[in-house]
Amino acid sequence: MIYLELPPKVTNLQKMAHGLAKSMFRPISRKYDRAEHERPKELDAMKNMMGGSGGGMGGLGGGDKKDKSSGVKNGGNMIAIPAMIEMCWGDAGLAMAIPGQGLGNAAIMAAGTPEQKEEFGKVWAAMAITEPGTGSDAGNIKTTAKKDGDDYIINGEKIYVTGGGWASHVVVWANIDPSKGKAGIKSFVVSKDTPGVEVVRLEKKLGIRASDTAAITFTNARVPARNLLGSAEIKDKKEGFGGVMQTFDNTRPAVAAMSLGVSKAALDLTRELLAKEGVEVDYGKDRWDNDTVRAELEWMESEWEGARLLTMKAAWMADNGQPNSKEASMSKAKAGRVGNYIVLRCVELCQSVGYSERELLEKFARDQKIMDIFEGTQQIQQLIVARQILGKSSKELK
């Protein structure tokens, strides 16, 4: 069973991550929001620290530690969630810019063989899925990987690759047999030093500016066959595209955690600013006995906690080998929607202070918006949940 209390080893990591976020991220948060595309060199020292603790994206999908008293696993997925919340409380863009903690690392840990995890476990890998004509429908991928002896030749274009400019490797989704449709989609670990791989553009963005977002082209890029994550065998759509999509079952709760971190930062700062004006929540009163502002704060806190528990459950299920596609999408949808509401409402409650650059509230609002979009939009998550509940296929429910 799942317990609502976090075990000591997780709370210890949580405290460490909060300390780093407060002392390291917050002081440089505005600096790198303004200096978009400038790599935050202050984070270089964190690579070994977070990579060894399992506290970042690289820890997702990699846990296998059991609680001896209960037999349940408190693995890499569940351990990473509280740490990610705290780091994004500090700065979401900086959390994604930590060397060695890309979304591609999570894909390697989720879909790679033991040998691949050993070979690529220490690289910094971004994840390249989205294409100019392919957004939410990842099954429409046009990038191809053609077998040529002991290699694959990759051709295509990827956009909105988070960390694509600074990462050393990219996990690329490509189709090895377009005639098989989605079943032919596989993921490959590709070094950016590979001839034919080119970063053609870095995007200017609304938020998370400390994290670079790249457009990358692949022109006859030759990649060793051993870099294909998992099995190259094409059986059916479930084994092919469905297997690659399992990566999202690990990463969607992580994105939900990012949303929780940003919205918690907005809530904390709003409480602090309102307290200076004499507005504080009295938790001894019934919510309906509080005035509008206090009642609103209390309601937002409860919604935030609901999203957190959903996220922890989805991560715990992944660690314990339970199918969690529905729960992963539920957590991502809930956290994204709640996070958007919270940060924008906090800006409103703090009025001119919330809208100006005197405080970080306006930055939190800009950073938060992407949390409801990448790794699958709000609408896509709701569609996935509906299919799971109704027992419908993607063809039956679009």
In terms of domains, do 102 and 127 share one? Answer: no
pLDDT value at position 60?
Answer: 65
In terms of domains, do 250 and 305 share one? Answer: yes
pLDDT at 17 over 80: yes
Q: What is the CATH number of the domain that holds 374?
A: 1.20.140.10
Choose one of 77, 110, 143: the last residue of a domain.
110
Percent of the chain with pLDDT over 70: 90
- Candidate list 296, 303, 362, 375, residue with the active-site label: 375
Give the per-residue SS3 of 295-324: HHHHHHHHHHHHHHHHHHHHHHHHHCCCCC
Which residue range is the domain that position 181 belongs to? 123-227
Q: In the predicted model, what is the mean pLDDT of residues 1-7? A: 73
Q: In the predicted model, what is the mean pLDDT of residues 88-103? A: 94
In terms of domains, do 356 and 307 share one? Answer: yes
The angle formed by the CA atoms of residues 338, 341 and 346, to the nearest 5 degrees, is 125
Q: In the predicted model, what is the mean pLDDT of residues 19-23? A: 96
pLDDT value at position 50?
Answer: 57
pLDDT value at position 66?
Answer: 47
* Nearest by Cα to 127 from 261, 38, 256, 252: 252
- Name the domain count of the chain: 3
Is 203 designated active site? Answer: no
Choose one of 227, 259, 274: the last residue of a domain.
227
Residue pair 261/337 in contact (Cβ under 8 Å)? The answer is: no
Q: In the predicted model, what is the mean pLDDT of residues 305-325? A: 93
The angle formed by the CA atoms of residues 178, 181 and 186, to the nearest 5 degrees, is 75
- Report the 10 Å Cβ neighbour count for 185: 28
- Each residue of 156-203: pLDDT tens digit? 999 999 999 999 999 999 999 999 888 899 999 999 999 999 999 999
In terms of domains, do 340 and 213 share one? Answer: no
This prediction's pTM: 0.91
Residue 89: CA count within 13 A, CB half-sphere = 22
* Confidence category of residue 58, pLDDT binned at 50, 70, 90: low
